[in-house]
Structure 1
């Protein structure tokens, strides 16, 4: 029985050329099915992209490691083709888009803090059930 890797919540940013935003949206409205399958197979879970009007792109993914997930994707030929298709849409990068993620530090997580607060409340008041 194999052990399931722990998923980490990862957020990253990039920037899309402001004059290429509509093209970026168009391409992501119909991502190639083989690209979607490769992402899932290589451990990209709950993956979302968010785009601001000025081209700021925020990505969110749950995976064991952003580096490891990107490395697994690099082994897929479809990823090489996708990155080449997308490269000219990005602003300020010298390497392929999937090698240019700028990870963001998670500084607040509601579920983690609630669990810690409830645990502390339960430990400080023996016999009392923490509120939900």
Structure 2
């Protein structure tokens, strides 16, 4: 059965317009890499008080999300975004997985 996952990231203060612009123009090869990895229904929300980004997506049972960081499209996207988001020393976005505590089907 497909699984919904959620996580948070952080955009640098004053950079949400640029963040949104870049995502409005998401590269077709990155969107395809996400789909190929079993990702669908991907949404990102912004909290203007904290600049946290809250993301949810659905991943298929046979998802290959662990392989996404190895794709050229993903590597280039992370390099493209690192000037406006919090990143780890290894060049990956700082991400905190969130635990579901309630769901109303």
TM-score tier by shorter-chain length is: 0.7 to 0.9
1:75 aligns with 2:45: no
Q: Which residue of structure 2 aligns with residue 18 of structure 1?
A: 13
How many residues align structurally?
A: 102
Q: Using CA pairs below 8 Å that are at least 6 residues apart, which structure has the higher relative contact order?
A: 2
Q: Which residue of structure 1 aligns with residue 102 of structure 2?
A: 108
User: Taking structure 1 as the reference length, what is the TM-score of the superposition?
Assistant: 0.69
Cα distance in structure 2, aligned partners of 1:74 and 1:106: 24
Which range moved further: 88-97 or 73-82?
88-97
Which structure is higher in strand share?
Answer: 2
Detail structure 1 runs of 4+ shifted over 2 Å in the superposition.
91-95
1:59 aligns with 2:55: yes
Helix, strand or coil: the match of 1:18? coil
* Cα RMSD (Å): 1.9
1:51-109 Cα deviation digits (max 9, x unpaired): 122411001011158x951x221231111101100112113643411xx3201110011
Larger Rg: 1
Helix, strand or coil: the match of 1:45? strand
Unaligned runs of 5+ in 1: 1-5, 112-132
